[in-house]
Amino acid sequence: MTESEHVQLARRAIEAYALQEDLPNPDDASPELKSQRSGAFVSIKEHGALRGCIGTIEPASPNLATEIIRNAIQASTCDPRFEPIRVEELAHLSISVDVLHAAEPVADVSELDPQRYGVIVTCDMRRGLLLPSLEGVDTARDQVAIACQKAGILAEEPFTLQRFKVDRFT
């Protein structure tokens, strides 16, 4: 299967960084990636197991191409759950890029669907996010519990909920 432009850009960034080569130039991306601004997550798997995932809820770069390059490098080197990706791993990586739509508030868990929507939980300055359609996350309650755990929000603490859709590129 041919990789999408989003994934090709992320892969080139990860490989260039690991090999200490010049990073891809965002100006060389398609007009779509150069004109769009959006939060994006880059997820990396090795032999089917998560190897890194970092992203932005809202755009932090001038365009989506730059956002993808930046988040791909962060996912491959700065995910605190993993060691940085090594050169010898590059051939075994599968990558996906999730481009986030704007988040919208929801009143309660009944308005969530973990296959269709990602979730953001917020309590004070703590915020946790979980992307949609993740293996092993079957209910909205599971999705919210994992997002709360990621944010360090205890079950008895009040929090707000937002949901968002993504365009997933593989």
Task: Calculate ∠ Cα 102-104-108, nearest 5°.
Answer: 150
Judge if 86 and 140 occupy the same domain: no
Output the pLDDT for position 36: 97
**Does 22 share its domain with 46?**
yes
Which range of residues forms the domain containing residue 28? 5-100
Ranges of the chain with pLDDT below 50: none
pLDDT value, residue 1: 73
> Looking at residue 90, what DSSP letter applies?
G
Q: How many domains does the chain have?
A: 2
Cα 137 to chain centroid distance, Å, stands at 16
Q: What is the 3-state secondary structure (H, E, C) of 139-167?
A: CHHHHHHHHHHHHCCCCCCCCEEEEECEE
What is the pTM for the complete model shown?
Answer: 0.95
Domain co-membership, 115 together with 39:
no
Do 9 and 73 belong to one domain? yes
Which residues, listed in sequence order, are joined to residue 98 by a DSSP beta bridge? 41, 168
Q: Report, in this order, helix, strand and coil percent for the chain, each rounded to 5.
A: 35, 25, 40
Residue 158's Cβ-count burial label (10 Å; 0-12, 13-18, 19+) is: exposed
Among 52, 73, 100, identify where a domain stops.
100
Pick left, alpha or beta for residue 26 (phi over 0 → left; psi -120 to 50 → alpha; otherwise beta): alpha
Q: Domain end: 100, 119, 142, which one?
A: 100
Task: Let me know if residue 170 belongs to a domain.
Answer: no
Tokens 């080569």, residue? 21
